[in-house]
Amino acid sequence: MSHEEINQNIASIEENRSSRRSAILMGGAALAGLALGRTAFAQSATVTDADILNFALNLEYLEAQFYTIATTGMTLDQAGIATKGGDGTAGGAVTVKPNAKVAFTTPLLQKFAAEVAMDEQNHVKFLQSQLATAAVAQPPIDLMNSFNALAQAAGLGPSFDPFASETNFLLGAYIFEDVGVTAYQGAAGLISNKTYLDKAIGIHNVEAYHAASIRTRIFQAGSAVQIASQMIAAARAHLSGATPNDDIGVGVISGAATIVDNDDNGMTFARSTSQVLNIVYGGGPAGTGGAFYPKAMNGNIK
Amino acid sequence: MSKLEEILEKRRVSRRRFLNVAGTSAGAVAVMTLVEGCSDSGSTTTTTPTTPTTPTTPTTPTLTDADVLNFALNLEYLEAEFYLRAVTGSGLSSTDAGSGAGAVTGGTQVGFKTPAIQQYAQEIANDELAHVRFLRKALGSAAVNRPSIDLTNSFNAAAMAAGIGATFNPFADENSFIVGAFVFEDVGVTAYHGAAGLLTDKKNLAAAAGILATEAYHAGEIRTLLTQLDVPHITYANQISALRGKAGGGAETTLSASSIVAADTSSISYSRTTDQVLHIVYLNPTAGVVKSGGFFPNGLNGTITASAS
């Protein structure tokens, strides 16, 4: 059977998928009062593998900072992980509240958080090493105003401190992880080099392991936390600008848990770089940024 | 235009859920995009090499995408049978297994006591069934039927080889079920990771990536749950992990509360060749040609059925 025949079949199947989100959407009321808009914009048509890897590196800087600060109270630079670019450009500042180390009380969660911090640091180091002199420096990152803005967007309240408690930490982590999965899946479709593609898929998987573990723990945290996750999923979906979207929060549909953020074909979905930027910028304009990246990302995709 | 209409017609006929008007019109746009994408293979930015090199499987350079997707379909049959039987007591329908499908030995409904675990199991069963259906539809008439599957002797043999004991019944109770699920999930991740490198078509790769990440979600979930269970279960899991590593070229991370993710020292997930996966599912670590055994007593169906080394 030819690729074209398989393609045609897949195209047909994908049109049949319906979003599980519609069955679990708890954030409808919140969306009506959404504080942030979303900005659709066209992505440059010609991107190199280095552009894609640098886009991923920007995301990994964000994740690594979040988990490193949450588990140690230190930024990457303070922890000995360089954030400067391959050309020596200094990394941007991190905006975060003082003494942000989370007061973990559950050893299983604390250990897992430390594991994720290590993974994200490894991803930063791996991408930096692959990109060598082409690696971008860390852009300015905001882990304070960003969460407040997204909390408002999701209808969770005027402010949100992901470092305030274990539960808040879970929800803060949740905001990133599924987005990371969709971003890498989208990136995989843009990468030409087979070796880079293999590595990107490998990181994609690791982000999915993270996302699953976090979502499982949110499931176990009870209905209030589950509902918060559903409101965040709705906000992510709205911000991304994708239609239809498949972003679902954690809960139960027809007797089945929704640990996996996927569609009715049992497949996770991809987000374009533009859709990812829409989310992490909190709807801020391309090239200008906002939310987690107040000065936009570094590199050609921003 | 007739091709588009044909696809739209198929979509209407086989739609499983009601879609609202807005969703339908958006869907039509998406179909057009996909159709255009199929004919536009000359993109300058995402050119796929016509003869991609795949250093991990030098012995099988002539595999088609259909061969690789059928290999995946065999694994999905196994997972679907395991989870569906655990949750409902029944396996795939004859429609989903294909005409002339092989027999399935064992697999009974688990007496779940914890609603959450039953809900986890139901979700994974839904996903694996969806994967079977997706791959069968994607492959069309080229899809292989379900091969013979053994869910009784296989687990006993695995338990013996892993040093767990003479027998192991993953359907005995909900905690045993989680250990049984562990046997498959990380393997699925490594198998799809390896398969992704064999696919030549970007669209097929995208589909595989979507299934692959779902398997990684499952694996992350199962591994998280195991760390929350009593010690014997995580010990069993790690004995299974060691067995998988022995048969499948390493590629395992010992499970603990501080190592939920199965990945290498760069925090990148492992990849396995089809040979390594075959050695695992046939429960035969002996190097050389292995054609059947373990979970597939009569071997896989399709082109990729025997290990080359």
Chosen from B6, B123, B189, B192 to mutate, greatest number of chain A CBs within 10 A: B123
* B204, B214, B224: residue with CB nearest A6: B204
Q: If DSSP codes are grouped into helix, strand and coil, which group holds residue B296?
A: strand
Number of domains in chain A: 1
Question: What is the number of alpha carbons within 13 Å of residue B48 lying toward its C-beta?
Answer: 19
Chosen from B96, B224, B265 to mutate, greatest number of chain A CBs within 10 A: B224
Q: Name the residue in chain A with its Cα closest to that of B200.
A: A3
Interchain pair A266, B128: CB under 8 A = yes
**Does A272 reside within a domain?**
yes
Chosen from A2, A6, A271 to mutate, greatest number of chain B CBs within 10 A: A6
* B126, B225, B269: residue with CB nearest A202: B269
Q: How far is A63 from chain B (nearest CA, A)?
A: 14
- A286: phi > 0 → left, psi -120 to 50 → alpha, else beta; which? beta
Chain A hits for B190, CB-CB cut-off 8 Å, are none
Cα separations (Å) of A244 from A16, A263, B17, B27, B98?
Answer: 12, 11, 14, 8, 32
**Does A8 reside within a domain?**
no
According to the model, what pLDDT value does residue B173 have?
97
Q: How far apart are CA B40 and CA B207, in angstroms?
A: 18
**Does A134 reside within a domain?**
yes
Specify whether the CB–CB gap between A248 and A20 falls below 8 A: yes
* A181, A205, A255: residue with CB nearest B122: A255
Q: Name the residue in chain A with its Cα closest to that of B39.
A: A4
Q: Name the residue in chain A with its Cα closest to that of B269.
A: A202
* A111, A208, A269: residue with CB nearest B257: A111
Chain A hits for B133, CB-CB cut-off 8 Å, are 265
According to the model, what pLDDT value does residue B154 have?
97
Q: Name the residue in chain B with its Cα closest to that of A47.
A: B45
* B140, B214, B217: residue with CB nearest A1: B140
**Does A164 reside within a domain?**
yes
According to the model, what pLDDT value does residue B254 have?
94
* A192, A217, A266: residue with CB nearest B47: A192
Q: If DSSP codes are grouped into helix, strand and coil, which group holds residue B256?
A: strand
Chain B hits for A9, CB-CB cut-off 8 Å, are 137-140
According to the model, what pLDDT value does residue A27 have?
42
Interchain pair A189, B206: CB under 8 A = yes
Cα separations (Å) of B255 from A155, B214, B222, B224, B275?
Answer: 38, 20, 11, 9, 24
Q: How far apart are CA B159 and CA B175, in angstroms?
A: 15
According to the model, what pLDDT value does residue A241 have?
87
**Does A1 reside within a domain?**
no
Question: pTM of the full predicted structure?
Answer: 0.86
Interchain pair B214, A266: CB under 8 A = yes
Interchain pair B267, A123: CB under 8 A = yes
Contacts of residue B67, defined as CB under 8 A and 6 or more positions apart, other chains included, come to B302, B303, B304
According to the model, what pLDDT value does residue A63 have?
98
* B3, B46, B211: residue with CB nearest A267: B211
**Does A37 reside within a domain?**
yes
Q: Per-block average pLDDT, block size 10, for chain A (302 residues)?
A: 74 60 44 38 70 97 98 98 97 97 97 98 97 98 95 92 97 92 91 93 96 98 96 93 83 96 91 95 94 97 96
Q: Taking Cα atoms as reference points, which of B170, B153, B147 lies closest to residue B294?
A: B153
Query: Hey, CA dihedral for B41, B43, B49, B55, is it positive or negative?
Result: negative
Classify residue A89 by its DSSP letter: P
Interchain pair B261, A210: CB under 8 A = yes
Contacts of residue A106, defined as CB under 8 A and 6 or more positions apart, other chains included, come to A166
Interchain pair A8, B38: CB under 8 A = yes
Q: How far is A53 from chain B (nearest CA, A)?
A: 14
Interchain pair B219, A209: CB under 8 A = yes
Chain B hits for A10, CB-CB cut-off 8 Å, are 138, 203-204, 207
- Ranges of residues in chain B with a pLDDT under 50 are 1-55, 57-58, 60
**Host domain of residue A30:** 18-280
Interchain pair A11, B7: CB under 8 A = yes
